[in-house]
A and B are shown apart, each in its own frame.
Chain A
Amino acid sequence: MPALDPLRLTARVAKRLLVDGEISSAELTKVYLDQIAAVEGHVRAYIRVTYDNAAKYSTKVDREMQAMRGPLAGLPIAIKDNMVTEGVTTTCASRILHDYMPVYTATAVRQVWDDHVVMLGKTNLDEFAMGSSTENSSYQTTRNPWDLATVPGGSSGGSAAAVAAGEALWALGSDTGGSIRQPAALCGTVGMKPTYGAVSRYGLVAFASSLDQIGPLTRSVYDCALLLQHIVGYDPNDATSVALPEPVALPDAERLDGLRVGIPAEYLAVGIEPGVRARFDETIARVEELGGNCVEISLPHTEYALPAYYIIAPAEASANLARFDGVRYGYRCADPVDLLDMYERTRGEGFGPEVKRRIVIGTYALSAGYYDAYYGRAQKVRTLVRRDFERAFADVDLIASPTSPSVAFKAGSRTADPLSMYMCDICTIPVNLAGLPAISIPCGLSDGLPVGFQLIGPAFSENRILQAAHALEGAIGFAPAPTFCDSGADAACLGAHAGTEAQE
């Protein structure tokens, strides 16, 4: 068996090794379980690691290779813990779903299960995907493997950190306002939010139904396309899902000749950190080198996108989270005296502060007398934001921006100030409001921490985005691996290849 570095191994390579018989699924899976054993105590990316399942299922795939052959068979994956998995608890990192055992499996998860992937476990997130640092988890704070004193971003921080730390080959996340792309950027991985409707939301525990979308977090653009291929498609269980007009293709582009890339002035005026700006400018220069044409464009309603999002998303969440009432499943307060008491204490004790804040905001925004001023207007802003993109895409093929205005920030540095936390998603939120596909790829480091580069395309332009991102990825040649250092402590780094060393 060849030496495998979980910090660098891609699914593309792992798949070839499996198909060529150079490694078994059990061996491959063990690489990740060993890495989990080595670093998980510091990273804390998983809410639940399904050791037994991973070991048993990978062995089964090896044994029944003939019957279970498939493009993803035997490849280990991590799943964000807001997708329901029959037989494996799904918590949404909330006390209210503590030990909740789903009775069915999310369509996207079912699709990869049917392809015989090996599930490693369920990853941490901000409670109900509400947050940008994964600090809103009721269970644990996930740390960024590039600097254990910093956050991995959020809300798919567990999935991003697991991939970055070599604790997973790849992962599924969900993105409501940037929840895949921002942690991918902060952790130095690839992350993609597909067009709204491209991936079924059935079984994704809803945060904001009109914005939520499942997508891949991977180590390469090729892997991203490979995983995306297997989760897209119309699902009769999701009325908002659609079939992509063309299948997802595995990218092979090396050039960007003739590609028109728009750079929205408004996205660069939102307080982008100098280091992030520098990496972004360098990447734009690479786009030009590869034959692309970059032009400045305007998305004039950008400044209203964030406030509109923080009306629409909480409004939908206030209804989506109303089902957690202690009646049928999940947490119920002890000894309620009557119905109202049960509702109030179950929800009061079951939800964390950020979830409560958003439920209150959303409930207020939908109230009689306030609906028109808040929810109604926010929907109008949403239409304007969508039109901004439509107009822009009349002249350009893709739009580029930094994914996040900053690199990973120190844990605890923004928790007291929700607005500064909300600003993390300033470049990603408009994309969700417009329902568009977008990818984040690593484009370098700033102060030793990864910087993300975002490419946004028109609806259903996944292939165009993936081709461009693939060409750019090759030109950037992002090579560093996380160090597992802790800038907040005197202790030395864990060592870049903890998992590999344990194995050798």
Chain B
Amino acid sequence: MSAWEPVIGLEMHVELDTRTKMFCACEVTKGDEPNLHTCPKCLAHPGALPVVNERAVEYAARIALALNCSVQPRNIFHRKNYFYPDLPKAYQISQYDEPLAVDGWFEYWVDDEKLGCRINRVHMEEDAAKLVHAGGDAGRIAGSDFSMVDFNRGGTPLIEIVSEPDIPSPEAAREFLQQLRNLVIELGVSECNMEEGQIRWDANISVRPEGSAELGTRTELKNMNSFRYLQQALEAEIPRQVEIIEAGGRIDLETLHFDPDTGSTTPLRSKEEAHDYRYFPEPDLVPLVIDPDWVEGLRATQPELPAARAERFMSQYSLSRADALVLGSSHALAAFYEEVVALGAGAKPVANWTMGEYLAHLNAAGLEAGHGHVTAERLAKLVKLVEDGTVSTSSGKDVFARMIAERAEPEEIVERHGLGQISDMSKLKAAVARVVADNPAQVEQYRGGKQQVLGFFVGQIMKATGGRANPQLVNELLRKALDG
């Protein structure tokens, strides 16, 4: 039996956070009462015409540039025709053979391995409206008593990013998506909120004998919006395909549904007929001519992107790649980290504190980096207190927790709760002497060669000092007393 390798390609849809819709002036909003943000254009009233949202073109071009695509000087919008109640014109204005941008690549990391994926294209289109099915077999249009359409979302600018089938594993597919999502968020063009469906994707997957250059027949997993399910679905699909091929069967080009409960993929109810979208150039819009100078202007004002920032952090702060990727993943976190370091705390300890206590705190409190009581100044002070030995690492964590609870400066907390580390030699000497005197049996064991017993003595001293004794000094003094 030969070994098989999967070949995965992804197609992502991202809703842009423009103020207005793709082809009309209605506001793009979330959670407002249904059909509040509509007009003759996005409701496709007779005679209404589309007008391209320039800001959406800018946002799309920023994504394209970040994916190293070449932004095309001439863009054509097409009509993609199909009937559905969430598509008021019965065609979606999209792009077809002359899209915004083509031929890019995206680099992403899986553990310590850098992978590259070619990007086929980035194009612009409009989102459909939202359908709500009620009564009967609610949830599907076919079985429900009635269906309602909320056109607030209809016409939201949507970007489609299509990768080449260069992704070698389900795990890589998940990493690709997560890192691509971070990139889009960093560009400030979409929050990529997954629950609101601001980012969603289709995956196509095929298998082939390892080392083969040919592509097998692919199946498609449609409209997913969970990273975990994506990976699970792909992981389930590989053995299914391998099994069919090894049994002499053929893979059908079909769309599959992944059921997270059973962990398996099953074909979607087959459509009564294959879709023929009858694409043709949108006659209501003239070709969009993009000025190369405008593109260069965008390129010059692109924000620093996560991958580049991670590289910088590695060289500037001597961080490991893993740490640099975490700290560099978002602009807000990176800015916070750099601010703390700039206040004089050590780059490596600040990285540990930021990724450890600080991120945990942000997650627990639902805060964004840079917000809340743990300011960059306070964290810098705390890290310095630990660095100069004023408090121990374990006490430092206590101080961190109290900073949030008591909304106070770290040095005040150390003072208020007596959390300062005891480095006073006379105090420490007395404590050591007492512990040695109180535990003759253990002293005997130690002197008999059982070095591990040292830990017992350290523990006793820490217990006696409430964990505040400077562990380095305690070790020194104990050895002197016991070895002496």
Contacts and interface: CB of A to CB of B under 8 A. Distances in A.
Interface of A: 83-84, 90, 92, 97, 100, 102-104, 106, 201-206, 208-210, 236-240, 315-316, 318-319, 322-323, 325, 327-329, 338-339, 343, 363, 366-368, 371, 375
A104 B40 contact: yes
Contacts of B43: 328
Nearest to B278: A366
Given A319-B91, A368-B276, A239 B52 contact: yes
B448 interface: no
B47 A322 contact: no
Given A100-B46, A319-B91, A240 B286 contact: yes
A201 B49 contact: yes
A84 B79 contact: no
20 contacts: A92-B46, A106-B47, A204-B47, A205-B46, A206-B284, A237-B49, A238-B49, A238-B51, A239-B51, A240-B283, A240-B284, A240-B285, A319-B280, A322-B81, A323-B88, A327-B85, A328-B43, A366-B280, A367-B278, A368-B276
B47 A209 contact: no
Contacts of A236: 51
B358 to A, nearest CB: 49
Contacts of A343: 83
Given A83-B47, A103-B45, A239 B285 contact: yes
Contacts of B81: 318-319, 322, 366
A468 B341 CA distance: 80
A338 B89 CA distance: 20
Interface in B70-95: 79, 81, 83, 85, 88-91
Contact of A338 (B52, B91, B142, B283): B142
B132 interface: no
B50 A239 contact: yes
Contacts of B305: none
Interface in B38-60: 40, 43-52
B276 A367 contact: yes
Specify the main secondary structure of chain B where it touches its partner: loop
**Interchain residue pairs A-B with the least CB separation, the first 7:** A322-B90, A209-B283, A366-B278, A210-B283, A203-B47, A205-B46, A323-B44
Contacts of B91: 319, 322
Interface size, B (range): 20 to 34
A175 to B, nearest CB: 16
Contacts of B44: 323, 328
Given A209-B284, A339-B141, A325 B45 contact: no
B149 interface: yes
Given A104-B40, A240-B286, A367-B276, A202 B149 contact: no
A201 to B, nearest CB: 7
B276 A97 contact: no
A84 B141 CA distance: 32
Contacts of A92: 46
Given A83-B47, A102-B45, A319-B90, 20 more contacts: A102-B46, A102-B47, A104-B40, A201-B47, A202-B48, A203-B48, A205-B47, A206-B46, A238-B51, A239-B49, A239-B51, A240-B284, A240-B285, A316-B280, A322-B83, A322-B91, A323-B90, A338-B142, A363-B278, A367-B276
B46 A323 contact: yes
A317 to B, nearest CB: 11
Nearest to A368: B276
B73 to A, nearest CB: 18
Contacts of A323: 44, 46, 88-90
Nearest to B81: A319
A327 B79 contact: no
A137 B47 CA distance: 19
Contacts of B149: 327-328
A239 B276 CA distance: 27
Interface string B280-308: 10011110000000000000000000000
Contacts of B279: 366
Contacts of B278: 318-319, 363, 366-368, 371
A111 B141 CA distance: 43
A323 B276 CA distance: 17
Nearest to A321: B90
B286 A239 contact: yes
Given A319-B79, A338-B142, A363-B278, A202 B49 contact: yes
Contacts of B45: 84, 102-104, 328-329
Contacts of B285: 239-240
Contacts of A104: 40, 45, 48
Contact of B40 (A103, A239, A318, A363): A103
Contacts of B47: 83-84, 102, 106, 201-206
Nearest to B285: A239
Contacts of B276: 367-368
A367 B142 CA distance: 27
B221 to A, nearest CB: 24
Nearest to A324: B46
A97 B88 contact: no
Interface string B133-152: 00000000110000001000
A94 to B, nearest CB: 10
A239 B284 contact: yes
A329 B276 CA distance: 26
A103 B39 CA distance: 9
A157 B73 CA distance: 44
A322 B46 contact: no
Contacts of A329: 45
Nearest to B141: A339
Contacts of A206: 46-47, 284
A320 to B, nearest CB: 9
Contacts of A237: 49, 51
A371 B97 CA distance: 14
A327 to B, nearest CB: 5
Contacts of A315: 280
Interface string B251-295: 000000000000000000000000010111001111000000000
Contact of A322 (B89, B280, B286): B89
Contacts of A240: 49, 283-286
Contacts of B90: 319, 322-323, 325
Interface string B389-425: 0000000000000000000000000000000000000
Nearest to B277: A368
A103 B40 CA distance: 7
Nearest to A238: B49
A375 B46 contact: no
B234 to A, nearest CB: 30
A204 B45 CA distance: 11
B126 to A, nearest CB: 14
A315 B278 CA distance: 10
A201 B49 CA distance: 8
Contacts of A103: 40, 45
Contacts of B85: 325, 327, 339
A325 B48 contact: no
A24 to B, nearest CB: 33
Nearest to A209: B283
Nearest to B280: A366
Contacts of A368: 276, 278
Contacts of A90: 46
A96 to B, nearest CB: 10
A328 B88 contact: yes
A83 B142 CA distance: 36
